[in-house]
Structure 1
Amino acid sequence: MCIRYLGLVLLIWIPAALHAQSATQPCSAPRLDDGFFSPKQETYSHGTKLTYTCNDGLKPTVKGWWVTSTCLNGEWSHKPQCIDEKACIPPDIPNAQYKKNLRGWYENNQRLRVRCDEGYEHKGNDATAICTNGTWSSVPVCEKSIEACGEPPKIPHAVIIHQEYQELFAADSEVQYECEDGYTVEGGTKEYITCMSGNWTEGPTCRVRPGPVNGGSAGGGTGGSTGSGTQRTVEVKNCGQQPVVPHGDVVGNNPMFLRYQCAALYQRVGPERVICYSNGMWSEVPICKATFCSVDTDTHPELISDGVKIIKHGETEKLKCVHQDHWRTPHYSVVRCTNGIMSRSRCCDRWDAFWNC
């Protein structure tokens, strides 16, 4: 009995001892050209630190004229190495990424292309750093984009799903909410929100889900409700032909919703996403409203014929008029477009304009 017990102890102890040994491998003395280190040993146990420096005209591959390196399981935490003092060590650029050099350093005059993280943009459109005599010049700065959004709003009785927490989201980022048990999204059409121009679109509202009525279903009847408020959503292929939105197109390829985008010079009014309910009905469909104005100069006898003029929202244009005074001064009509509604002044010259023509 004692022999069996001893054997069992050895079987447990030996693998554990071997694992402990393999996890703490010693390091060989590093080869350091053009420099020296201390302490001088043939081998270094796991966790031992050494200090090294470099000869004149050279420097370590990390910041400082003397640095330490640690033995970690048979490898040095960074390989002791001396490089030309005009070379550059990797720069520290917050909120940015760049291609790492396998040597761990960069030659003098070498250029480094920097890419900002999502939600950030280059300040002054400067995206290149240059190694100049051992330091980086014109190091790009990645600042928060004016189009980016902060963390999504907290909504009562809801949580964001399929998304790890982050403080900054790039433009056009989407997050999806899910109501807690016993609650449902009001209207069933706003589970997603989108980051647009630095702000989140309107989020969902989670309402208490109606309970059974007279022993029926949650919708109030034995067959369930046909209203969208209590219908579950299904894949869009279950609703047949996609709704047609004049001057709009379906973009993306999501099996759970249609995302509509309006053509240039048109603005979407209504939900961006259209979903399919389990009763085969589509949710509310948006419309694409014109944000431009058009003037057919051929239908206005007071204007010089120049075809159809398109004026974008918020812009003005001067159209030439037929009338001229006895000094042959040109006259113009000023047209302004606001949300698709056009306003046009009478024909007047620049002097009339001075008097609020």
Structure 2
Amino acid sequence: KPCDFPEIKNGGLYGAERHRPYFPVPIGKKFDYYCNRGFVSPSGMHWDNIHCTAQGWKPEVPCRRQCSFPYVEHGKLLEWKGSYLQDQSLKVKCHSGYSLPNGQDTIMCTENGWSPQPTCIRVKTCLKSDIEIENGFLSEYDRIYYLNRKTQYRCKEGYVKVKGESSGTITCLQNGWSAQPSCIKYCDRPVFENAGTENNSTWFKLNDKLEYKCHAGYENKYKHSKGSTTCSFDGWSDIPTCYERECSIPLLEKNLTVNPKKENNK
């Protein structure tokens, strides 16, 4: 299979117009070619030869970009050599508080030069003063947090997150803190005296109502066998306590007396 006229990207064939009428050419035919400024052949030269094979023209990419040693603004390179060829990469270390775009740490020599540009930009930061945690506080003492850094916050005593945890984490994102967390008031499960409940929760949110039932033969201070208590800012509105049921001396008919003569009987 003969080879058609080679289209050399970022370069060209020496004497192209003179050779063009003789294409296609047979396998084994060679031609000298050149690369444009900033590009080199696989051998590192600005010119070389291209030859026709059964698989087509070799080399397949005659001209590759040659990237010069870059200067890194607000950072430094972790290795050094005179130049780099297309598709070769280079490690970069940015100064504290700076980063390559998208948090990368590598630049690559492409057909259009270094990508991304070897410039470290100041990374997004979040300030401790930018967030107010309702009924909570940041656990760490740092004032500035860099992009993607996580930090822990804790709830004040007597407060928890919505799911009951006493602490959580927030992250510094491109648009600021990941959340403006809050901690809500809660009540621990109360101690029942001579009473019980079907509610198995170990903690309760503000305004949660807990219903309870007195044991047989007992009643609460309102003389009821059932009652309820509500979680408030000051704790439970009522203590679920029941007492032995008492009966006062009944009204007796004339000529009847009672023994023993006590005001109340259990």
Does TM, normalized by the shorter one, top 0.5?
A: no
**TM-score normalised according to structure 2 size:** 0.29
Name the structure with the higher strand share: 2
Task: Say which structure, 1 or 2, has more relative contact order (CA 8 Å, 6+ apart).
Answer: 2
Structure with max Cα Rg: 2
Q: Which has the higher helix share?
A: 1
TM-score, normalisation: structure 1? 0.23
